[in-house]
Structure 1
Amino acid sequence: MTALVERLRTRAPRAPGSSAAGFDRRLIVPMILGSILNPVNSSMLAVALIPIGRAFGAAPSQTAWLVSGLYLATAVGQPVIGRLVDAFGPRPLYLAGTALVGVAGVLGVGAPTLGVLILSRVLLGFGTSAAYPASMSLLRSEADRTGMRSPSGVLAALSISNQVIAVIGPTLGGLLIAAGGWHLIFAINVPLSAACLVLGAVRLPRRGRVADAQRIDVLGMAQFAAMLTAFLLFLMSPGVGHIHLVAVALIAAGTFVWRELRTPQPFIDLRVLSGNAPLLATYGRQVLAYTTSYSFLYGFTQWLEEGRSLSASGAGVVLLPMSVTAIVVTAVTGRDPRVRAKLLVGSAAQVVGCTLLLVMGSGSAIWTIVLVAAVIGVPQGLNGLANQNALYAQADPERMGSSAGLLRTFMYLGALLASAASAAFYREGATTGGLHRLAVLLIAVSVLFLVVTVVDRSLSRVGR
């Protein structure tokens, strides 16, 4: 075992200022700053959908594409870029992705039409797809170099930053809109991108794994992208008129599976993945957890502004207890690598929070809204952290980037399901009746999440 650890230390890339004695903490800031680009852009938009709709004269079903466009790009981009991170190392992909975020921010600020604004969100989706798999790859390399069995403290820091920024995003978005309009939630990407570029250039290791470009499964990536894009486009507008998208997705899926089982260097090693039941269960829990989480983030926030008649900044303020609860929960539990108890409590809290939505109405007191937000903050602080720790323990170390990318893909699949649900239930606007119908669906999803967690006994081994 000692010889293996020593060999891994020799092979792993070293960052400036690193030492074999401990994790190179110079990497932590660019890892965290890059990985929050996606959740901050996701969550800030929650309070901007109504103002943007008014600015362009667009209905909620149209502005929903601002959400769906980012998640579609991210769902496709995360595992693809993650595989490139596995092949070429994290530095070049991190720098290219964060640079694209700045370009997308500039485009969003000057967008003359809703279509251009949606394009900006798509570019944001691809740009923000690089940092998280790059960070997980760096984390795995540093853990191997230093001999850490489970770097739970660094994993916790990464998870805390993502969870915290996701829940304070609505409040931050509300403050930016109050200060200068919805354009500021796009403009903020420019300084964030610049900071990532500077820190990434200075601190990320210059030498990583170098792969032969001919061994990259480009065709498999294209088939995967076609399959996922067709399926998600149908999910955004389900109906008989779009049934051809299902056929395209099935054909692409069939050719993708056929190729991946036969190519020596597959984009996604389906043989290994199919034999890893605990990791597949983690991906399933990710979909269920984030379908509920993002339905609450977007559906409830839109109702606060239309059904409860709060301003964008007011909606952000009353959701602040969600942020506080999530911060406290994550800080208390973050360094413990065990996941089963976190997932049990998180899924049960989602059931309770979604049930409370049924008692919301246009005359609901502010304190009741604050109570619901505080309850939902509990799973916000637990579920993402637990699934990330589970993935770290269950995934193949040599494919940590692509495995982490797939975890984000399933996360954004949940977000797209949430977006589709909000569009379906809010066809006539974000009414109280629509909120209650959405709540019934979310209760069912949350109960399924709880059941899947209860029956998965492999979770008890993670973190021991």
Structure 2
Amino acid sequence: MNARSRWLMIAVGLGILLNPLNSSMISVAIARLQQEFGLDFTDVSWIIFSFYIASAIAQPVMGKASDLFGRRKIFLAGLVVSLAASLLAPFSPTFGWLLVFRVVQSIGTSMMVAVGMAIVRIHIAEKQGTALSVLSIFLSGAAAIGPFAGGMLLEWGDWPAIFIVNVPFVAASFVLAWRMIPKDGQAAPAASKMSIRQWLHAIDAPGILLFTVGLVALLIGLLSAESSGQASLWSVLVGLIGLAALTVFVRHELSTASPFIPLRTFAKYPAMTWVNVQFILVNLLFYALFFGLPSYLQMVRHVSEFHTGILMLTLGLSSLVASPIAGKWIDKSGPRPALIVAAILMTLGSVWIVTLNETSPVIGVSLALVAFGFSNGLNAVGMQAALFASSPKEIAGVASGLFNTSRYLGTILSSLLTGIIMGDSFSFAGFRLLGIVLAVIALALIMMSLRQSRSPVGSEPSL
């Protein structure tokens, strides 16, 4: 790999790491934001919801946009958007404005993730496997150190520092990307010939709108009912609007020629569908702990943000250690054994959470973090391998897009589950109940993995 290719890879890597970094750093700032804006736990959880909902929508949309406008343009525009959000967020006068800038930040960082891998695959001809694996390290490494970095930033500069820290990454990526990413040239001339109506049709604007309205309305209805302790007329009405919008969304996606989420693919390839179902549950489990445990440490155990970040680093490091081990194991034995072990580790970690009490040694939390970290490393490689095994090569792009959608649905559901269980305030009793629910879900994953291990590749498991 020549020097230009290496600098191109660094330019892209510095950009794409901003999405996982910003999604994970916020986990240690939940308690601080509650104090700053005088909110309950359910309300402040929208700082998580908003980021993942925006990412789930923006990444496939920006992937389509890059085909029309060019990948270099989308990547550089994403850096500009991310810079603007990072500079404005610290000056948010209210939590509502902070959510707005958080959504803008999610869109900006998603623009880079959506096209970063494609830029490397197109412009680096030699050792593509090595290049893509290095980019994966940027992504997984950023997610791993996010809580630790967030803890240090909170200790030294309060919550605004979590946004300001993006500026040097954005600046370095922009300078390198401007110089190293080749111009799009005639790669995407179609965009200039398309009318606004044709462009909206190409990205399935009605589907995006229905999906967004349905998901947000349903979340508002559920969380409002839980926060107030009763199902008010308003929360029921909003929830029903969400369900209706999602129902119309499904019918629309099944009938449109260019769907935002190609639902027919799920019906055509049932084995791939079950992989995505498992991936939703895996992310639900992982991120419920990822966002719940820092709040437990800070609100129940009164651990500082800095030391919470250090403890959470155990999770990321365990995941990084497990990933190369998983790669060699899966090459030799296939994905199912690794996925079964991952589900068992998640079960053990969830059960360990249930055994914690308000006076348990804080260092004991590391045992649960190690279990979840190793399981995450196994799942990251195993689920991707299972996806390849269950989906034909001719739909690799569609399969990858659906896979990322499943990831974000799992993270959104994890925030919803935590918000419903906790309600107005984070409590030890709620945290223990969360552990019980996670243990049940982990047991379900074990059963799914065991049944699928007896099923031929490409066939539907008998559940």
Query: Which bin holds the TM-score, normalised by the shorter protein?
Result: 0.7 to 0.9
Q: 1:442 aligns with which of 431, 438, 446?
A: 438
Q: Does 1:377 align with 2:373?
A: yes
Cα-to-partner distance string for 1:122-141 (whole Å, 9 max, x where unaligned): 11121122222313434654
Residue 4 (structure 1) aligns with: none
Q: How much does 1:180 deviate?
A: 1.2
Residue 319 (structure 2) aligns with: 326
Q: How much does 1:16 deviate?
A: 10
Map 1:384-395 to 2 at 5 A: 384-391=380-387
Cα-to-partner distance string for 1:280-339 (whole Å, 9 max, x where unaligned): 223212211111111101111100001111111111122222222122112433466653
Structure 2 residue runs of 5 or longer lacking an equivalent are: 226-230, 459-463
Alpha-carbon separation, structure 1, partners of 2:53 and 2:29: 19
The letter for the 2-side match of 1:357 is I
Call closer, same or farther: CA 1:178–1:402 in 2, change over 3 Å.
farther
Alpha-carbon separation, structure 2, partners of 1:438 and 1:302: 13
SS of match in other structure, 2:425: coil
Call closer, same or farther: CA 1:448–1:316 in 2, change over 3 Å.
same
Residue 221 (structure 1) aligns with: 205
Residue 43 (structure 1) aligns with: 24
Q: More displaced, 35-44 or 192-201?
A: 192-201
Residue 361 (structure 1) aligns with: 357
Contact 1:93–1:130, Cα closer than 8 Å, also in 2: yes
Call closer, same or farther: CA 1:192–1:304 in 2, change over 3 Å.
same
Q: Does 1:425 align with 2:421?
A: yes
Residue 200 (structure 1) aligns with: 177
Contact 1:236–1:416, Cα closer than 8 Å, also in 2: no
Residue 297 (structure 2) aligns with: 304
Q: 1:73 aligns with which of 24, 42, 54?
A: 54
Q: More displaced, 248-257 or 72-81?
A: 248-257
Alpha-carbon separation, structure 2, partners of 1:425 and 1:263: 38
Contact 2:219–2:239, Cα closer than 8 Å, also in 1: no
The letter for the 2-side match of 1:330 is S
Q: How much does 1:428 deviate?
A: 4.8
Q: How much does 1:258 deviate?
A: 4.6
Alpha-carbon separation, structure 1, partners of 2:70 and 2:136: 22
Residue 337 (structure 2) aligns with: 341
Alpha-carbon separation, structure 1, partners of 2:453 and 2:68: 33
Alpha-carbon separation, structure 1, partners of 2:272 and 2:205: 21
Residue 102 (structure 1) aligns with: 83
Call closer, same or farther: CA 1:131–1:404 in 2, change over 3 Å.
farther
Alpha-carbon separation, structure 2, partners of 1:187 and 1:445: 37
Residue 119 (structure 1) aligns with: 100
Q: What is the identity percentage for the equivalent residue pairs of Structure 1 and Structure 2?
A: 27
SS of match in other structure, 2:110: coil
Q: Does 1:188 align with 2:165?
A: yes
Contact 1:163–1:384, Cα closer than 8 Å, also in 2: no
Alpha-carbon separation, structure 2, partners of 1:460 and 1:314: 47
Contact 1:108–1:117, Cα closer than 8 Å, also in 2: yes
Cα RMSD of the aligned pairs, angstroms, is 3.2
SS of match in other structure, 1:217: helix
Contact 2:319–2:377, Cα closer than 8 Å, also in 1: yes
Contact 1:105–1:186, Cα closer than 8 Å, also in 2: yes
Q: How much does 1:400 deviate?
A: 5.7
The letter for the 1-side match of 2:161 is L
Contact 1:223–1:252, Cα closer than 8 Å, also in 2: no
Contact 2:85–2:101, Cα closer than 8 Å, also in 1: yes
Q: Does 1:287 align with 2:280?
A: yes
Cα-to-partner distance string for 1:204-243 (whole Å, 9 max, x where unaligned): 3423455454376357233234224422442354144334
Call closer, same or farther: CA 1:260–1:362 in 2, change over 3 Å.
closer
Contact 2:90–2:164, Cα closer than 8 Å, also in 1: yes
Contact 1:133–1:401, Cα closer than 8 Å, also in 2: no
Q: More displaced, 26-35 or 45-54?
A: 26-35
The letter for the 2-side match of 1:455 is R
Alpha-carbon separation, structure 1, partners of 2:450 and 2:134: 27
Residue 73 (structure 2) aligns with: 92
Q: How much does 1:201 deviate?
A: 2.4
Alpha-carbon separation, structure 1, partners of 2:326 and 2:238: 43
**Bigger proportion of residues as helix:** 2
Alpha-carbon separation, structure 2, partners of 1:158 and 1:360: 37
Residue 164 (structure 1) aligns with: 141
Alpha-carbon separation, structure 2, partners of 1:36 and 1:116: 24
Structure 1 residue runs of 5 or longer lacking an equivalent are: 1-14, 19-23
The letter for the 1-side match of 2:183 is R
Q: More displaced, 312-321 or 154-163?
A: 154-163
Call closer, same or farther: CA 1:451–1:216 in 2, change over 3 Å.
farther
Q: More displaced, 382-391 or 397-406?
A: 397-406
The letter for the 1-side match of 2:442 is S
Q: TM-score, normalised by structure 2?
A: 0.84
Alpha-carbon separation, structure 2, partners of 1:320 and 1:89: 37
Q: Does 1:278 align with 2:278?
A: no
The letter for the 2-side match of 1:163 is S
